[in-house]
Amino acid sequence: MEYFVQQLINGLTLGSIYGLIAIGYTMVYGIIGMINFAHGDIFMIGSFIALATFLILTTVFGFVFLPVVLLIVLIVAMLFTSAWGWTVERLAYRPLRGSFRLAPLITAIGMSIVLQNFVQVTQGARNKPIPPQIQGGITIMEGMTENGRIAVQLSYMQMIIIATTVLLMIGFTLLITKTPLGRAQRACEQDRKMAALLGVNVDRTISLTFVMGAALASVAGLMFLLLYGVIDFYIGFLAGVKAFTAAVLGGIGSLPGAMLGGLLIGLIEVFWSGYFTIEYKDVAAFSILAIVLIFMPSGLLGKPEVEKV
């Protein structure tokens, strides 16, 4: 029982990071109907910006009070990553918005490769480690197993990740449902031409959607850096594929579905690694995705598209 609870905590922590990245995929798809395959690399850039800012604050300026340092790092990472997201949308996607459907997809893949290689050339291909910053935790329960005594630990870092994810999810839900920007986004999702005729600035709404998704990805990048303590230029591809899988599993276009899919992917990976073998954790996640889509083609919380005649 103790081992199960520990793996459950680990899975929820990993799934929270996947869910934050998946929200960026599902928001963009919901409005313009395209998959932003460069979104995983925006997450990677956010983690590198967070690392660079942290090192500058601690080594150059000598900041030592960790809460203030992490707050500044988070704000800087969100600002710069949001600027990256806006730039990618403005240069790579907006000129092709009226083109055939494969053009933005090819551009997204190309932009992903460009961002990967840009970071590889400028930062190097080696892993970038960082010492553990938030240590300690609480012991939830203890028990005996055949291998000895086991204690279920909930680290402070895991608490921060889960709490941050819950707060961001509540905040984004309120933003989408209660604010003028959220109404504009929902209007563009239903019919962009009609929304434009009714006075909605479609270009501005789409750009802000990319900015919001990139900001969430930067939060996930900072949490990934603090949790694992090492990053490289390739983490964006791996995390992006997992987050895209989570968005599809939960129902592409649904914010709660993206978060639910992220949590499920994280739980599947952790439980499979813990009880079976770590080599096939990705096989297990994609197999369950395939099974779900066979019986629920729109995902767990997705709505089937109805084409008007």
Please give the Cα distance from 286 to 282 (Å, whole number): 6
Assign 164 a pLDDT band (cuts: 50, 70, 90): very high
Integer angstrom CA distances of residue 135 from 156, 157, 209: 7, 7, 35
Please give the Cα distance from 225 to 106 (Å, whole number): 29
Could you tell me the pTM of the whole model? 0.91
Integer angstrom CA distances of residue 250 from 41, 55, 77, 254, 293: 21, 37, 27, 7, 10
pLDDT tens readout for residues 73-100: 999 999 999 999 999 899 888 888 878 8
Quick check: 275 pLDDT over 60?
yes
- Enter the DSSP assignment of 208: H
Please give the Cα distance from 119 to 124 (Å, whole number): 7
Residue spans per domain, the chain = 2-295
Q: Compute the average pLDDT of residues 54-64.
A: 87
Buried residues in 190-211 as b, exposed as e (16+ CB within 10 A): eebeebeeeebebeebbbbbbb
Q: Name residues whose C-beta falls within 8 Å of residue 297's C-beta, 6 or more positions apart in sequence.
A: 304
**Does CATH number 1.25.40 belong to domain 2-295?**
no
Please give the Cα distance from 222 to 70 (Å, whole number): 9
Quick check: 32 pLDDT over 70?
yes
Assign 308 a pLDDT band (cuts: 50, 70, 90): low
DSSP H/E element including 40: helix 39-55
pLDDT tens readout for residues 40-51: 999 999 999 999
